[in-house]
Amino acid sequence: MRPYVTRIAELTCLNREKNGAGEEPAHIVDVLTGLLDARADVRAYLGTKDGALVATCVVIRKHHRLFPKWAGFDYAAIGERSGIYFALVLDAPVRDAYAEGLRTVEFGAGAHQAKVLRGCTPRPVTTTMVVSDPGLRPQVAKWMDAFGAARRVAFGDAPAATRTSLPVVSGACCSDG
């Protein structure tokens, strides 16, 4: 995979831009290289056309789960409806999970309908951020709401029907410090 790290980052960024998100190729190169250097269980599914790398999906295994992390496509080369997305991002990780005796592939948020049509079971996932500075909490809450709304729009997800606000308490929560 190492010879393809730069191209994987380029393709991933093309995919992110297409979906209204962004990430710097250098960030992906650094993280992916670090994972490889640390001998993490990371794999890439690759799609080529006329000898050129035009589609990728990077998957990380942690314990008994696979996590598809980065997907990237050269839509100018493969078109908008090639079907390679599903082969690399959904089918290949499930095939490997079965072959390795794993029970879970964590596909992440977004594209719920496509995932359910392929047998995925959705479940709610909650993200929590602990902000130790009480003065920053109102602003952080606004940023998180704005990020969540932008993400739902970018990935075509239906907005949440309700929002449950949890109380923010001061003092130690999960430790003595």
13 with 75, same domain? yes
Domain that holds residue 56: 2-117
Between CA 29 and CA 8 the distance in angstroms is 8
Question: CA torsion sign, 116 to 15 to 140 to 108?
Answer: positive
Q: Look at the chain and report how many structural domains it folds into.
A: 2
83 with 141, same domain? no
Kindly provide the residue ranges of all beta strands, DSSP E only, lying in the chain, ordered along the sequence.
42-49, 52-62, 65-73, 104-105
51 with 106, same domain? yes
**Contact assessment for residue 31 and residue 45, using Cβ atoms and an 8 Å cutoff:** no
18 with 50, same domain? yes
Among 73, 90, 117, the domain boundary falls at 117
Q: How confident is the model at residue 99 (pLDDT cuts 50, 70, 90)?
A: very high
pLDDT > 90 in the chain, percent: 49
pLDDT over threshold 50, residue 175: no
152 with 169, same domain? yes
73 with 131, same domain? no
pLDDT tens string 36-81: 999 999 999 999 999 999 999 999 999 999 999 999 999 999 988 8
13 with 99, same domain? yes
Tokens representing residue 71 in the block: 């997907």
Task: Quote the pTM value.
Answer: 0.71
Among residues 135, 126, 145, which one has the least CA distance to residue 168?
135
Please report the pLDDT score of residue 170 as a whole number.
47
Of 118 and 155, which is predicted with more confidence? Answer: 118
- For residue 43, the domain's CATH number is 3.40.630.30
| 118 three-state secondary structure | coil
Mean pLDDT of the chain: 84
Please report the pLDDT score of residue 54 as a whole number.
97
Please report the pLDDT score of residue 156 as a whole number.
64
